[in-house]
């Protein structure tokens, strides 16, 4: 399955990732960094919007070192009130120097009742 790309600038600072769970739902997440072959995952961050900790983190590597590597996002959205027709909305933004990189905006919206598990992959391309 082809993986969409995020274009990084080798001359800019380390990328950061921000995650927003919209619709006032409860969200949990974790991110992994995989090597270019899709193996050897390293957890970058995990958390929830149900606490006071900011849901933004540094990837921890220079853009050059991320070339060809794969970022995975795994999330779980839950509605506090379970009912048909609930809408979920999740946004992940990969930034460098405060600007969202091309391909660095991941958004998913849909309907669910109580629990929705999410998954997304992006491959870094550094130039």
Give residues in contact with other proteins (CB under 8 A).
Answer: 1, 3, 20-30, 32, 34, 38-39, 41, 43, 46, 48-51, 70, 72, 74, 76, 78, 80-82, 84-85, 87, 89, 91, 107, 109-111, 114-119, 121
Q: How far apart are CA 100 and CA 121, in angstroms?
A: 17
For other proteins, the closer of residues 9 and 91 by Cβ is 91
Alpha helices in 31-108 (DSSP H): none
For other proteins, the closer of residues 51 and 98 by Cβ is 51
Q: How far is the CB of 106 from other proteins (least distance, A)?
A: 12
Residue with tokens 């506090």: 80
Q: How far is the CB of 8 from other proteins (least distance, A)?
A: 18
Q: Which two tokens stand for residue 121?
A: 């992959």
Q: In angstroms, how far apart are the furthest CA atoms of the chain?
A: 48
Phi, psi of 47 (to 5 degrees): 175, -170
CB-based contact 27:71 (threshold 8 Å) = no
Q: How far is the CB of 14 from other proteins (least distance, A)?
A: 22
For other proteins, the closer of residues 88 and 96 by Cβ is 88
Phi, psi of 67 (to 5 degrees): -50, 125
For other proteins, the closer of residues 9 and 16 by Cβ is 16
Q: How far is the CB of 56 from other proteins (least distance, A)?
A: 13
């Amino acid at each position: 399955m082809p993986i969409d790309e995020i274009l990084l600038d080798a001359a800019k600072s380390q990328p950061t990732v921000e995650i927003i769970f919209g619709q006032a739902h409860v969200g949990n997440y974790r991110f992994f960094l995989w090597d270019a072959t899709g193996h050897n995952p390293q957890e970058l961050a995990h958390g929830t919007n149900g606490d006071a900790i900011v849901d933004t983190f540094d990837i921890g590597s220079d853009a050059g070192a991320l070339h060809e590597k794969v970022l995975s996002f795994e999330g779980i959205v839950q509605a506090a009130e379970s009912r048909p027709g609930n809408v979920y909305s999740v946004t992940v933004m990969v930034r460098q120097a405060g600007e969202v990189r091309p391909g660095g905006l991941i958004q998913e919206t849909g309907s669910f009742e109580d629990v929705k598990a999410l998954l997304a992959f992006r491959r870094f391309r550094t130039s």
